[in-house]
Amino acid sequence: MTETDLTTQFDWHGSSADPNDEQFGDVTEPTTPAVAATYEAVMLGEPTDRAVIGRDGARNGPAHLRSALNETKTHHLTHGPVGPVGDLGDVQFSESADATARQQAVAAITEDIHALDARPVFLGGDNSLTYPNARPLLASGSLGIVSFDAHFDCRDGAPSSGTPYRQLFEDGLDAFAVVGARHFENTTTYADYLDGRGTVVTAEDVGTDLQAAARTAIGAVADAEQLYVSLDLDVLDATAAPGVSAPTPGGLTTRELYRLLGMIANDGRVAGFEVVECAPPLDQDDRTAVAGARAIAHVLSAWTTEDTT
């Protein structure tokens, strides 16, 4: 990875007139691959929706997620303030590159990012890039993935936002749990594919007993040496996240999502996190971008503060 692979550094700056209002814009700064390891966490934007199934718009996700995070205060009421965070900028995509070429371009970058001491937060972008975001981890030990998603995303065929977990299984993914899956959003064929390969925790399961749902998801990846956490914002109910490719009713609440993320992000095995399918042109009052930014804040709080009780 070189600096020429990346572009579009965001102007991080706290916007509050009160000097006591520390925001993520005050603790996040542009960085480069050469010095990124000095941070505990770094962000990378992936502005593409070339492979999306459904409505376009996710290519605008990284910019809006950053903008919403920029104005979010850093203080977690239990953990305290978030520590410094680096921002590597955005992946540059050739306009002519198809979904396969874009996966390959990202894989060349994420392999180097996972070699850093800093843990990455990938800002999507469509769900097809889950494959190159997580795949480098397969080379350094057994891998489990916890996917917060309404869908299984284990379709067969050419790479798309619906194929990343089948691609990862074919490359040796060891364990998988999808949390927040919805009735009537997945087909029998793909449910059968996951049977025996992964664990499904429905949105209904979370709403009935969140603690039990968390135990089921964590238990499904208990033997993995490393964990990767993916958040497709369509896991949220359409009222909380209208700006996604496929908004539907019956999803998680933001409060449920943040509690679950806090439990899992505190696991020392977590080696990466992503937020995908934020589509600002489809959003209402930036509701989806704000929800995604708060999810990032919860994960960064677990990673960069000393008190993780």
Rg for the chain, CA atoms, rounded: 18
- Encoded tokens for 185: 């959003």
Going by C-beta distance under 8 Å and a sequence separation of 6 or more, which residues neighbour residue 138?
A: 168, 171, 172, 173
Task: Write down the pLDDT at residue 307.
Answer: 54
Helix, strand and coil percent figures for the chain, each rounded to 5: 40, 20, 40
Distances (CA, A) of 190 to 198, 235, 273, 277: 11, 18, 24, 20
Q: What domains lie within the chain, and their CATH numbers?
A: 3-304 (3.40.800.10)
What is the sign, positive or negative, of the torsion defined by CA atoms of 128, 64, 36, 141?
A: negative
Cα 180 versus chain centre, distance? 14
Q: Is 224 exposed, middle or buried (0-12, 13-18, 19+ CB in 10 A)?
A: buried
What local confidence, expressed as pLDDT, does residue 281 receive?
97
**What residues pair up with 232 in beta bridges, in sequence order?**
276
Can you give the pLDDT of all 309 residues of the chain as single tens digits? 555 578 878 999 999 999 999 999 999 999 998 899 899 999 999 999 999 988 999 999 999 999 999 999 999 999 999 999 999 999 999 889 999 999 999 999 999 999 998 999 999 999 999 999 999 999 999 999 999 999 999 999 999 999 999 999 999 999 999 999 999 999 999 999 999 999 999 999 999 999 999 999 999 999 999 999 999 999 999 999 999 999 999 999 999 999 999 999 999 999 999 999 999 999 999 999 999 999 999 999 999 876 544
Compute the distance between CA of residue 154 and CA of residue 202 in angstroms, rounded to an integer. 16
φ and ψ at residue 294, rounded to 5 degrees: -65, -35
- Residue 309 pLDDT: 46
What SS3 state is found at 258? Answer: helix
Give the per-residue pLDDT at 7: 84
Handedness of CA 211, 83, 278, 142 (dihedral sign): negative
- How far CA 209 is from CA of 202, 236, 290, 309, in Å, comes to 11, 17, 26, 21
